[in-house]
Amino acid sequence: QKEVEQNSGPLSVPEGAIASLNCTYSDRGSQSFFWYRQYSGKSPELIMFIYSNGDKEDGRFTAQLNKASQYVSLLIRDSQPSDSATYLCAVPNSGGGADGLTFGKGTHLIIQP
Residue 74 vs 79, nearer CB to other proteins:
74
Among 10, 17, 39, 45, contact with other proteins (rule: CB under 8 A): 45
Residue 79 vs 89, nearer CB to other proteins:
89
CB atoms inside a 10 Å sphere around CB 83: 19
Q: Which of residues 10-39 bind other proteins (CB under 8 A)?
A: 31-32, 34, 36
Q: Which amino acid does the sequence have at 84?
A: S
59's CB contacts (< 8 A; 6+ apart) are none
Distance CA 5, CA 89 (A): 8
What are the residues binding other proteins (CB under 8 A)? 31-32, 34, 36, 42-46, 49, 51, 88, 90, 92-93, 96-106
